[in-house]
Structure 1
Amino acid sequence: MQHKRPKMTLLQRAKQFMPFAALKGFQELLEETARYKEKRKELSEEQLEVLDAQCKGLVIGNVVSVVYHNGRVYDTVQGRLQQIDTVYRTMTVGDVLVPMSHIMRVTIIG
């Protein structure tokens, strides 16, 4: 007695050869690590003093431009200074929370 398999459709045959990702999210993780990362620069003592003086001159409501390291590359945010948190050492420009330790330069625009 011989059993015959039912004939597969082309769609069923194609599914057999589709790529299979055994580790979900692994490809995205590889792409994330392959992206360019810029190292954060350490400021000299003089640069830190200038930056500190600039930050002390800031007033809530000033329109500022802040160059900071966002964890990957240097980025610039411009907008109204919403908050300065001296406890957590952050400032909020527009809707962006910027750690003060990541700031490279602050410029008051208006």
Structure 2
Amino acid sequence: MQHKRPKMTLLQRAKQFMPFAALKGFQELLEETARYTENRKKLSEEQLEELDRQLYSMVRGQRVRVIYYTGRHYHQVEGVLDAINPVHRTIKVQGQQIPLSQITKLSSLD
């Protein structure tokens, strides 16, 4: 007795040979890891003290330029200083929260 299988459509045949992704998201993780990462520069004690002096001289509403490290590269933002939060150790510029520990340069534009 011979059993005949129903004929497959081209789409069904193509699905048989599609690559199997056993680890979902693994390819995206590899691509993310392959992206260029800029090393963070260590600031000296004098540079940290100067940043503190600059920070404490700033007032809300003042136009500032902030250069900070995002974990992958340095980013610059210019705009109005919205808030300084000494408890959470952050500043807010143009609605963007920036941790004080990530700031490498701070300057007034006024």
Question: What TM-score range do you get, normalising by the shorter chain?
Answer: over 0.9
* Secondary structure, counterpart of 1:50 in structure 2: helix
Match for residue 46 of structure 2? 46
1:32, distance to aligned residue in structure 2 (A): 1.1
Question: 1:70 is aligned with what amino acid?
Answer: T
TM-score computed with the length of structure 2 as normaliser? 0.94
Give the equivalent residue in structure 1 for 2:87.
Answer: 87
**Distance in 1, Cα, partners of 2:109 & 2:80:** 9
1:20 Cα offset (Å) = 2.0
When the two structures are superposed, what TM-score results if normalisation uses the length of structure 1?
0.94
Task: Give the deviation of 1:28 after TM superposition.
Answer: 0.9
DSSP-derived class of the 1:39 partner: coil
Dislocated runs of 4+, deviation >4 Å: none
Q: Percent of aligned pairs with the same residue?
A: 62
Q: Equivalent residue of 1:13, what SS?
A: helix
Indicate the RMSD between aligned Cα atoms, in angstroms: 1.0
Aligned to 1:35: 35
Displacement of 1:68 in angstroms is 0.2
Q: Which runs of 5+ in 2 are unaligned?
A: none
Q: AA paired with 2:105?
A: R
Q: Which residue of 1 aligns with 2:97?
A: 97
CA distance in 2, matches of 1:10, 1:49: 69
Give the partner amino acid of 1:85.
N
Aligned length: 110
Distance in 1 of aligned mates of 2:28 and 2:81? 35
Question: CA offset at residue 78 of structure 1?
Answer: 1.2
SS in 2 for 1:43: coil
Return the offset for 1:5.
Answer: 0.8
